[in-house]
Amino acid sequence: MAIPQLSPEDRAQALEKAKAARIKRAEVRDNLKSGKISLADVLAMRDDPVIGRMKVSTLIETLPGYGKAKAEKVMKELQIAESRRLRGLGERQRAALLERLV
C-alpha cells in the first residue's frame, strides 16, 4: 500500500494534529508525575483517542520510582505485551495494573 501524497496544507494540518497529541500526552504524564492526577484517572481516560494511544510502558515509566527496567518487570509480571497501548488493555489487566502500582 502506497503512502498517500498530501498537499502542503494537508501535511501542515497533520503535523499540527500530531503536535497537539504529543503535547496532550506530555501534559497527562506531567500531571501524573506531579500527583495532580492518579493512575486510575489516566486509565479511565483510555477512551480518549489521544490518551488511548499512549503506551502502557511509557505510563508506568512516568510514575515516581519507576524506570525502564522496573516498567518492563511489571509488564512481564502482569503479562502485558510490550507494545500494548492504554486503549488495548482488558478489564483484568487494568485492575491488575492498578493493584500492582497503587
Phi-psi region of 66 (alpha: psi -120 to 50; beta: other; left: phi over 0): beta
DSSP state of 49: T
Contact 97, 56 (CB under 8 A): yes
- State the pTM of this model: 0.83
Average pLDDT estimate for 39-61: 93
The pLDDT-based confidence of 4 (bands split at 50, 70, 90) is confident
- Dump pLDDT digits (tens) for 61-97: 999 899 999 999 999 999 999 999 999 999 999 999 9
Task: Give CA separation, 94 vs 22, 55, 87, in Å.
Answer: 23, 13, 10
